[in-house]
Structure 1
Amino acid sequence: MTTTPRPIAALDAELEKSSVDHPINTHLQLAVALQTTPGFRAFAISTPDDDVVVITRDGLIQILLGSTVWQAIADFQVYLQQASSDSSICLVCTGTHTELAALPEYISNSPDIQLLGLPLHPSALYPIVHNIYNMQTLLRYERNSSLEVQESSQAVKHIMSISRELNGERDIPKLLDLILLKAREITNADAGSIYTVDSPTNRVQDGSIQFHRTQNHSIRQNLSTFSLPVNEKSIVGSACIHAVSINIQDLYQLSEDPEKNPYGARHDKTWDQRIGYQSHSMLTVPMFDISHNIIGVIQLINRKKDREAKLTSPESFTEQVIPFDERDQEMAEIVAQQAGIALENANMHQNIQDLFDGLVTASVTAIEQRDPTTSGHSHRVAALTVGLAEIVNKCDAGPYKASFFNDDQIQEIRYASLLHDFGKLGVRENVLTKAKKLYPSELERLFMRFELIHATLEVDYLRKVIQYLQSPDQFPMGANPYTFEYEKNQKIAELEEHLRFINKANEPTVLEQGGFEKLKDIANLSYRNLRNERHPYLLSEELKALSVSRGSLTREEFAEIQSHVVHTYEFLRKIPWGKKLANVPQIAAKHHEKLDGSGYPHAAQVGEIPTQSRMMTIADIFDALTAKDRPYKKAVPVDRALDIIEMEVKGGKIDSELFRLFCEAKVYEPVLDPNFKSNI
């Protein structure tokens, strides 16, 4: 098969902006990476079409097909026919994991077709392509054999299947179990253990070996994790230091003197005696990451003639256990190669997840530091919302029986809940933390004014007394210093009463009946300062703030607080969440919307509010009512809080079925525990 490279404008553009630090997300970026990575100099790379890349080496051909090609059945059939008629061709279908999952089984299981899931880190590309090349080489060799061809072909298929399984698992404990299981299966090993190696430097000796898992087909073992130093006192340590596989035919035939054994190997039979087992043949294989640093070790025990046989008696060990041969070692090393890449990818995925979690936690901390009175609110809302989502997953009746949130969607809900108030960073801090109707500075200014009014009353009194003493005839009959003092005291008492009422009105409670009129009466009063200038008792902005009928915020301030959901959406949508978490901004931004259109900021209707946001609405209201750390209000008892939310339900504002599930499952109980600590 011949191909002719041709210039592609889009490819040239990608070449100019390519970077080894950026993940490969598209087939075009994949083509760029193949042409710019030094490791591919031994391969001939051509691009006969926009979504096709051909890699050739030693007569073996890999054709990388983008999703636009293999999703077009007619185009794909052409390549399938070429691959079926020419054993040197291997088709590699590229695409997202979701796209590749849609491939028909007869295609995805074909030995002539490989799958390459995107996104992919550039450093992982060469090992994957080179491994496919090795498999092609092995497959070509095996196809030229007669009796061995079927067995080898099955082994290659098995390796390919293992590769797909390993690369599809991101959970590290599950991946380690899977690696060990597949290594045992392909070598007929009765038992085995798997270790990881962690070193702070490029020297493996500076690190430690961590035991993680053991598997045994014949007996049950429960071992706790433990650490080993990287040295030659253990076979695993020797495999790490020398970076080679160690194949021991029979541990029971080793010399008592370790110096006489390969790699100084020694075997402590007391452990076998304790568990009623015999470890004879052993194969220890290191796993390497993309940079060829040792990342772990697979240790396999007792290769069996019969895969299903159980080793439960001395005779069974004698009859069944045989050494691991060269082919076993070769297959185990191929699995270890795939496992090393898969484990590094899983570690990278976990590191990215940890980084994301750290950024979210830091963001929540920043929010709560701006408004310490709501400390813990975001974590409690997240716990309540995720808890309700998990209850929805268990529904077997009602409108939500068909609803189910997978792990990615639960994570999406978790992040959206934690960051639902992120937009408060865009609200002025004094508005955000306003505990009373007047800001502290405004109240201080008002107190100083009333002290000044008090002082002017004293000055007026003294002025009158002096005038009376100088010219008593100018005053009406009955006027004297005593009446002047009485009038002064009356006015001071009224002033103090006004101040007491203002202090009371300043609290974020419901303004008492007639309170607004009384505030207006006070505002209509005036005084003269020492320069004889007339000023009102209350400024217009003070009257406006004190006249708020409920709470502490004026209409404008409340609108500013409400704007936090708009800020939340604008902030969160700038974060590249990826496909799995793409709905985080929308879920978070709609937690104040109501089903009847009375919510904010967009007065969204029923069909416009996601279920995740509806759940968060219930969680947010419940925590706002029951929180005990708000200095400006008392916590509402749980029963009363549920009654208040139920009134919202009856008013058509909140989802009735979700609220029913919330109440019946008592989703709120964990967050009410005084020792509640979020694990979200």
Structure 2
Amino acid sequence: MRLTALWSDGLMALSPIREGAELSAGTVEKRLRELTAICIALTAERDLHRLLELILTKARELTLADAGSLYLIEEDETTGESRLRFMLAQNDTVPLPDMESIVLPLDESSIAGYVAKTGRSVRLSDVYYASERYPFRFNPRLDMALGYRTYSVLAVPMRTPAGDIIGVLQLINRKTAPGPIPDVLRVEAHVVSFSYEDEEMVRALASQAAAAIENNRLLESIRRLFESFIRAAVLAVEQRDPATKGHSVRVAELSVGLARSLAGVTFGRWAGVVFTADQLREIRYAAILHDFGKIGVREPVLVKAEKLYAHELDLIRARFALAEYAVQCEALRRKLEHVLAHGVGHHTAAFAELDRWAAEQTERLAAYLRVVEALNRPSVVDQDPNVDLLEAIARLRFPTPAGAEQALLTPREVYRLSIPRGSLDDEERREIESHAAKSYEFLRQIAWTKELRRVPEFAYAHHEKLDGSGYPRGLRGDEIPLQVRIITIADIYDALVASDRPYKPAVPPGEALAILEEEARDGRLDADLVRVFRDTGVWRRTLGWGPGMASGE
């Protein structure tokens, strides 16, 4: 609700006071200033609980009410019927029990229900002796439980500018002086009735409060809508790459956890850094959406589990099978030559030697194929020594049925099998790396609020490294914001320990932390943040999470 609209509601409610009430001009001006200050405070508060606390506190301050309560109208999810939900209570004189579970029917059997149902205010000097014209009767059970005595009551509807009643503001026992009632056994000596001017002032405040609550609910509904959009965006990526299901949510959990941990840290460059709620939300959104650009990467590249595509490995296996067939054919040819040269009766020893030769060649081919299959599986560390055999295997030739010679491995196959880390060749890696820029271009299209305006920037840079070896821009050192450094550590750690990646085995948490520390020593990751991540146990936050498990944010 705009401030001007709230201000006009206040003037409309106060206009009868100015015309007919016996208040000095100074008192009216003071109350207008108080109302304006309250209006500004209400429009600035975005947390619903703090907003309701502020509304009730200010209403009691304006009227010197000893106690008060606030109710909001809600819809029963089961029946669809409207009801009154008790939201909070305050009392200067006696401590109150937990009453958050109280729900009242939206009818005229209670004071709050009557006000909400009819839209009329109620102002009583002694609630125990309310006029017979009212359909409600006061329930004294709470007074008896607290050892308290309710006398004067003022209850007003909380009406939006559109005329909808969304709740009730109820004040109890207008005091003659600020502070707790000094003698709870003689409450009547310190309490007076709420005046007509009090009622008009509270009605003005209630209208402003209703508008503020309505705005708060609208903002919350927009936030929920955006959260659902984010979930849909992440789902779209995960459906293209099911192996990474849950990765984005886990990275967000780890990132927010690491950001929060800095507040209690006493060592390193980032000791004592405190992020606001908006800044934490900004980190969370950037972490959740950091991989959205993968939706623009070709699916075969995105889900590539091994260095060779399945059809390429099948082709190599067929080639090795053909080479084995060629060995058997060669053995048979030599046997035939022996028989033709020496006759049928002198072949036993020669045939046995040829069979041994064929078996050795066949086993040699099988061993080479096992090397190829082993090298085809990606690794997160530098490749094993078997890669040296590739050149030797590639030099081997076998005769085809057409009489030509065929190499066991092509140069392109050797190139791909020689990939030192991961499963992607240079071209494929560049395509995968383009997801950071694609994420940025997508996120730039969203009309982010001022508090979240850096989400695209943070998502864009999550693969940058302090030594400039990252991508896509090769940022260095202080060019990389703290928030990005946090997301980068969370992203790398989760990618290492994830058990749902078909192209690599999960790395144990201890080994993953050691890899982070090595990266920090080599100047690629922030060493202080890696230490906080390890020492404060942030890495434990996602232990046991299955694919798709969401955080409690």
User: Aligning the two structures, in what range does the TM-score lie when normalised by the shorter sequence?
Assistant: 0.7 to 0.9
Q: Are positions 1:627 and 2:498 aligned together? A: yes
Of residues 452-461 and 477-486 in structure 1, the stretch that sits farther from structure 2 once superposed is 477-486
SS of equivalent residue, structure 1 residue 302: strand
Match of 1:127 in 2: 5
Q: Equivalent residues in 2 for 1:138-217 (5 A)?
A: 141=19, 148-199=24-75, 206-217=81-92
Match of 1:252 among 124, 128, 131: 128
Q: Equivalent residues in 2 for 1:123-522 (5 A)?
A: 127-128=5-6, 130-131=8-9, 134=12, 141=19, 148-199=24-75, 206-222=81-97, 223-254=99-130, 260-262=132-134, 264-310=135-181, 312-315=183-186, 317-394=187-264, 399-400=269-270, 403-458=273-328, 485-509=355-379, 510-513=382-385, 515-522=386-393
Tell me the CA shift for residue 651 of structure 1.
2.5
Q: Equivalent residues in 2 for 1:565-584 (5 A)?
A: 565-584=436-455
CA contact (8 A) 1:213 1:225 kept: no
Separation in 2 of the partners of 1:212 and 1:146? 35
Separation in 1 of the partners of 2:92 and 2:228? 40
CA contact (8 A) 2:72 2:87 kept: yes
Tell me the CA shift for residue 456 of structure 1.
4.9
- Please provide the CA RMSD for this pair: 3.3
Separation in 1 of the partners of 2:14 and 2:175? 29
CA contact (8 A) 1:277 1:312 kept: no
Separation in 1 of the partners of 2:501 and 2:487? 20
Of residues 515-524 and 566-575 in structure 1, the stretch that sits farther from structure 2 once superposed is 515-524
Separation in 2 of the partners of 1:303 and 1:592? 62
Match of 1:46 in 2: none
Is the alpha carbon distance of 1:196 and 1:484 closer, same or farther for their aligned partners in structure 2, counting shifts above 3 Å? same
Separation in 1 of the partners of 2:413 and 2:81? 68
Separation in 2 of the partners of 1:424 and 1:253? 71
Match of 1:660 among 523, 527, 531: 531
Of residues 394-403 and 444-453 in structure 1, the stretch that sits farther from structure 2 once superposed is 394-403
Is the alpha carbon distance of 1:673 and 1:484 closer, same or farther for their aligned partners in structure 2, counting shifts above 3 Å? closer
Separation in 2 of the partners of 1:608 and 1:159? 47
Name the amino acid aligned to 1:221.
Answer: L
Match of 1:641 among 509, 512, 533: 512
Of residues 320-329 and 531-540 in structure 1, the stretch that sits farther from structure 2 once superposed is 531-540
Match of 2:410 among 534, 539, 552: 539
Name the amino acid aligned to 1:679.
Answer: G
Identity, in percent, stands at: 38
Q: Equivalent residues in 2 for 1:585-600 (5 A)?
A: 585-600=456-471
SS of equivalent residue, structure 1 residue 277: coil
Tell me the CA shift for residue 493 of structure 1.
2.7
Match of 2:551 in 1: 678
Of residues 395-404 and 170-179 in structure 1, the stretch that sits farther from structure 2 once superposed is 395-404
SS of equivalent residue, structure 1 residue 615: helix
Of residues 434-443 and 527-536 in structure 1, the stretch that sits farther from structure 2 once superposed is 527-536
Tell me the CA shift for residue 194 of structure 1.
0.7
Of residues 168-177 and 283-292 in structure 1, the stretch that sits farther from structure 2 once superposed is 283-292
SS of equivalent residue, structure 2 residue 538: coil
Of residues 159-168 and 528-537 in structure 1, the stretch that sits farther from structure 2 once superposed is 528-537
Is the alpha carbon distance of 1:406 and 1:270 closer, same or farther for their aligned partners in structure 2, counting shifts above 3 Å? closer
CA contact (8 A) 1:385 1:615 kept: yes
Is the alpha carbon distance of 1:140 and 1:600 closer, same or farther for their aligned partners in structure 2, counting shifts above 3 Å? same
Tell me the CA shift for residue 449 of structure 1.
3.4
Is the alpha carbon distance of 1:132 and 1:147 closer, same or farther for their aligned partners in structure 2, counting shifts above 3 Å? closer
Name the amino acid aligned to 1:512.
Answer: D
Give the gaps of 5 or more residues in structure 1: 1-119
SS of equivalent residue, structure 2 residue 440: helix
SS of equivalent residue, structure 1 residue 350: helix
CA contact (8 A) 1:285 1:336 kept: yes
Separation in 2 of the partners of 1:265 and 1:517? 92
SS of equivalent residue, structure 1 residue 339: helix
CA contact (8 A) 2:396 2:408 kept: yes
Tell me the CA shift for residue 218 of structure 1.
1.1
Name the amino acid aligned to 1:608.
Answer: E
Name the amino acid aligned to 2:90.
Answer: Q
Tell me the CA shift for residue 177 of structure 1.
0.9
- Greater relative CO (CA pairs within 8 A, separation 6+): 2
Separation in 2 of the partners of 1:632 and 1:588? 24
For residues 642-664 of structure 1, what are the alpha-carbon distances to aligned partners after superposition, in whole Å with 9 as ceiling and x for unaligned?
33333333323222333333344
Is the alpha carbon distance of 1:496 and 1:398 closer, same or farther for their aligned partners in structure 2, counting shifts above 3 Å? closer
SS of equivalent residue, structure 1 residue 299: strand
CA contact (8 A) 1:378 1:420 kept: yes
* TM-score after normalising by structure 2: 0.88
For residues 445-472 of structure 1, what are the alpha-carbon distances to aligned partners after superposition, in whole Å with 9 as ceiling and x for unaligned?
3323333444455556667777888x66
Tell me the CA shift for residue 176 of structure 1.
0.8
Is the alpha carbon distance of 1:516 and 1:297 closer, same or farther for their aligned partners in structure 2, counting shifts above 3 Å? same
Name the amino acid aligned to 1:567.
Answer: K
SS of equivalent residue, structure 1 residue 197: strand
SS of equivalent residue, structure 2 residue 86: strand
SS of equivalent residue, structure 2 residue 45: coil
Q: Are positions 1:615 and 2:493 aligned together? A: no
Separation in 2 of the partners of 1:205 and 1:637? 50
Count of paired positions: 545
* TM-score after normalising by structure 1: 0.72
Match of 1:606 in 2: 477
For residues 274-310 of structure 1, what are the alpha-carbon distances to aligned partners after superposition, in whole Å with 9 as ceiling and x for unaligned?
2111222222211123432221111112222223241
Of residues 532-541 and 239-248 in structure 1, the stretch that sits farther from structure 2 once superposed is 532-541
CA contact (8 A) 1:218 1:312 kept: no
Separation in 1 of the partners of 2:326 and 2:506? 44
For residues 233-278 of structure 1, what are the alpha-carbon distances to aligned partners after superposition, in whole Å with 9 as ceiling and x for unaligned?
22222222212222233221137xxxx341x111122331121112
Give the gaps of 5 or more residues in structure 2: none
Match of 1:117 in 2: none
Separation in 2 of the partners of 1:337 and 1:455? 90
Separation in 2 of the partners of 1:495 and 1:291? 83
Is the alpha carbon distance of 1:518 and 1:180 closer, same or farther for their aligned partners in structure 2, counting shifts above 3 Å? same
Is the alpha carbon distance of 1:157 and 1:643 closer, same or farther for their aligned partners in structure 2, counting shifts above 3 Å? same
